[in-house]
Structure 1
């Protein structure tokens, strides 16, 4: 009888060993800075989403694409965009078990694309380098102070990187001198192969707004087929550099043609298509979340005032109070 039960136990253990458990991922939200402080009440919807990470995004501002000075951490900014606001957000989220990526970002006046920032003179480049270093090191120090798990050294700054690659490598060294956590950079979806410093940081960060379908209302299958053009290249890049891929941003609008140019944030677009957003979100999880070389991602974007955010009449990126939120909740629970 003892031998019989021993045999059964061995079979059970073999069966368990042959069924791999889901991989734990960074199941993140891009937590939008607001005018106000936050409380546990504002964090509970993040917890209920089964998220385990939040990106905190303090902002610096530039007047125009050729302007070299970054204005940041001033009284004229919203509370959540400043150092003290970011710290308060981090501490409140951490008190509820949410880990943190600090992701300082630049806003160019009138919302022009940050990847086009480019100086006209050597003097202006040096001024920009000094200003950007001050901006980034201020928040790297905050990351260390708050024991934040991940720090992002920049977001979608391709021209700046292409023109000044040695500056960026030096900046990474300076950040490492004051911050002991992991580092990433948020490259645009069509930029990541040209980013020169992946070997110096820990995660290949991609803002994953890849074009996937020209259809008005793509199915999950349509979106998965759209990823077939991009996924092999992403995986090959990860394996070539021996670095995990992290989607520092991902998300879709609930509108017609949501997969055609997913980066569009034009408020003139008025169509509503909740299914298109939910299908795109489901497809992304099906394609990436099970892969061992994929670290996870941060949905764009999540507002603190949950009850008044998103909803079925809103066609912007947030999944809040839309069918896509339930898709995220389900997959985040599986890979938590």
Structure 2
């Protein structure tokens, strides 16, 4: 019996392929309700070994310093209590977690444009943001999350207040003992000033790759070459791995032209473009030793009710791209 158990364990290990040590993650979107096994099963079905849990804080405008978070008016999954329940449910299923608190600005304005109008407002923002980040750093420690992300796409905030961020990281390290990253936008990461204090170079990987309406896998891969070379060099210079804190493509025409678009445009649904883009990013990065892996944007908890062949949004759920992810996360993609 022991002999056959050992052989079976070897088979399972070999089937994990080259992706066995990679972060094969999904961005697990908060919902109105607690999650249970039926919500986690689709994550397990695509062989994801990590999920990003994303509680939210809210600002009224890019100039507002008062960050509101963990209130009864928020969706359950966006609160501290909800994030705790999500983390515990994922952990029970062997899925590791990156806790990634984020900001939402009213009307969906870009967080990178946050700009205070006075020193007083900057100080107020720093105070409210520090409370936000430390609150969830404490939760990350309590629940033994493997990675904690201290911010997402906050370009102007980082640029204008670098000393605050360095001090914030020091404070976070007093309460959280796991791995740290920051989710820099694709055009932001090269000048982010505090990578040496973190464990991963976090990049939201919405790099423009091609102007074609329906690009092939090879055209997507060609579009990656200058960006990949720059990422590799940056990783080597800092001696730190790159982590795609977000990656993904919309299932629409011109999916590689401006991959960051989150608007409600009526662009023609194009499942093949999303499928090819997803295949290309796996082929370009997942075999690189300087690359840690990434978190797919995005994955909704009510799997059966989202995505599908008429949807042009980011989620790959119930689309051909989902099967691409399943194969690569299982180590069978090449």
**TM-score normalised according to structure 2 size:** 0.94
Is the Cα contact below 8 Å between 1:23 and 1:290 reproduced in 2?
no
Aligned-residue Cα RMSD (Å) equals 1.2
Of the three residues 104, 108, 114, the one matched with 1:107 is 104
Task: Indicate the residue corresponding to 1:318 in structure 2.
Answer: 315
Task: Indicate the residue corresponding to 1:118 in structure 2.
Answer: 115
Of the three residues 138, 145, 155, the one matched with 1:158 is 155
Deviation at 1:22, TM superposition (A): 5.3
Is the Cα contact below 8 Å between 2:148 and 2:178 reproduced in 1?
yes
Task: Indicate the residue corresponding to 1:224 in structure 2.
Answer: 221
Q: Distance in 1 between matches of 2:21 and 2:64?
A: 42
Task: Indicate the residue corresponding to 2:280 in structure 1.
Answer: 283
Whether 1:143 aligns to 2:140 is yes
Of the three residues 27, 32, 35, the one matched with 1:35 is 32
In our comparison, the structure showing a higher alpha carbon Rg is 1
Is the Cα contact below 8 Å between 1:23 and 1:335 reproduced in 2?
no
Deviation at 1:270, TM superposition (A): 3.2
Q: Gaps (5+ residues) in structure 2? A: 1-16
Is the Cα contact below 8 Å between 2:19 and 2:330 reproduced in 1?
no
Is the Cα contact below 8 Å between 1:152 and 1:183 reproduced in 2?
yes
Whether 1:250 aligns to 2:247 is yes
Q: Distance in 2 between matches of 1:289 and 1:22?
A: 7
Task: Indicate the residue corresponding to 1:268 in structure 2.
Answer: 265
Q: Distance in 2 between matches of 1:264 and 1:34?
A: 22
Written as runs of structure 1 = structure 2, the 5 A alignment for 1:12-161 is 24-161=21-158
Deviation at 1:55, TM superposition (A): 0.2
Is the Cα contact below 8 Å between 2:67 and 2:125 reproduced in 1?
yes
Task: Indicate the residue corresponding to 1:167 in structure 2.
Answer: 164
Cα 1:22–1:101 shift into 2, 3 Å: closer
Q: Distance in 2 between matches of 1:273 and 1:265?
A: 16
Deviation at 1:268, TM superposition (A): 2.0
Tell me the alpha carbon deviations over residues 165-199 of structure 1, each in whole angstroms, 9 at most, x when there is no partner: 00000000000000000000000000000100000
Is the Cα contact below 8 Å between 1:25 and 1:335 reproduced in 2?
no
Q: Distance in 2 between matches of 1:296 and 1:273?
A: 26
Is the Cα contact below 8 Å between 1:23 and 1:292 reproduced in 2?
no
Is the Cα contact below 8 Å between 2:25 and 2:296 reproduced in 1?
yes
Whether 1:300 aligns to 2:297 is yes
Task: Indicate the residue corresponding to 2:7 in structure 1.
Answer: none
Task: Indicate the residue corresponding to 2:10 in structure 1.
Answer: none
Q: Runs ≥4 in structure 1, deviation > 6 angstroms?
A: none
Deviation at 1:249, TM superposition (A): 0.2
Q: Distance in 2 between matches of 1:240 and 1:23?
A: 26
Whether 1:241 aligns to 2:238 is yes
Q: Gaps (5+ residues) in structure 1? A: 1-19
Q: Distance in 1 between matches of 2:173 and 2:332?
A: 30
Helix, strand or coil: the match of 2:208?
coil
Of the three residues 174, 189, 196, the one matched with 2:186 is 189
**TM-score normalised according to structure 1 size:** 0.93
Helix, strand or coil: the match of 1:253?
coil
Helix, strand or coil: the match of 1:43?
helix
Written as runs of structure 1 = structure 2, the 5 A alignment for 1:195-206 is 195-206=192-203
Whether 1:309 aligns to 2:301 is no
Tell me the alpha carbon deviations over residues 29-68 of structure 1, each in whole angstroms, 9 at most, x when there is no partner: 0000100110011000000110000000000000001100
Cα 1:282–1:108 shift into 2, 3 Å: same
Q: Distance in 2 between matches of 1:212 and 1:53?
A: 26
Q: Distance in 1 between matches of 2:303 and 2:225?
A: 34
